[in-house]
Structure 1
Amino acid sequence: MADPSRLRPDDRADFEAVLHHALGTADIRGALGTDPGGLTAAHLRAHALAHADDIAAAAEVPYRSYRTVRRAARHETRGPLDTPAVCCRPSRCSHRSWRARPPRRCS
C-alpha cells in the first residue's frame, strides 16, 4: 500500500490545478509583483511541484479528508454497472465537473 502522506499520482493534476489557482490569487500576485520577470513565481511553482509529497505530508489530515470526499464523489457519479453517470438535464443542470470527471446526476 502506498504511503498515505505522499501525493498519489491520480491526485497530481488536482494538486497542479490548486497550485495554479493559488499562484494566481491577487494576494500572491501582489506579493510576487516585485519580480516583473516572473522568475519568482516560476521558481515557487517548480519548487512546489518538486516537493508535492512533502506538502501532502504536511497537510496529511486535510489531504486524507480530500481523498475521502473525492472517493465518495466518484462512487456517487457512477451509474449501473460502474458506468459514468450522465446529467439528466444538461441545459438546466447546475453541476460542474473538474477536468474529465463525469458530471453528477441531477436530482
Structure 2
Amino acid sequence: MLWRTTSGQLALVADLRFADDIDGLAGNVCKVASLVEKLDKALSNFGMEISAEKTKIMTNCKETSKKEIKVNGQILERVKKFKYLGSIISDEGSKPEILSKKAQTTAALTKFKPI
C-alpha cells in the first residue's frame, strides 16, 4: 500500500490483517513508530486501543535501533520471532520455518505403511 506523507513523499507500508491480529510492515523503525501511532489514533476514534502487553516489535535489519516504540506510555517488547497463522516468523528469515515444516512432513510420511 502506498500513501503520501505530509512532506509529499510516497511511503510504502503494508499491513496484514486476520481477525484481531494486525502485522505492520515498514522500511525502518521510525516508519514503524509512525504506523503504530497512526493506528492507535485511528482506533481511538472508534473507542478501541492497542494492547501494549500483546503488541511486539521485530526487525530484520542488521543495524539495531535503540528507538523505543510506545503505546499508551508503555514500551513495546522487541522479539526475535513470533507465531502468525500457524507459521513461525523470525528475524532470520524463513529457514527455521522451512526446516520445521520439513521435519513435520518427514514424521507424517514415516507413519505410512507400504502397500
TM-score, normalising length from structure 1?
A: 0.25
* Structure whose residues are more often strand by fraction: 2
Structure having greater relative contact order (Cα 8 Å, sep ≥ 6): 1
The structure that has the greater radius of gyration is 2
* Structure whose residues are more often helix by fraction: 1
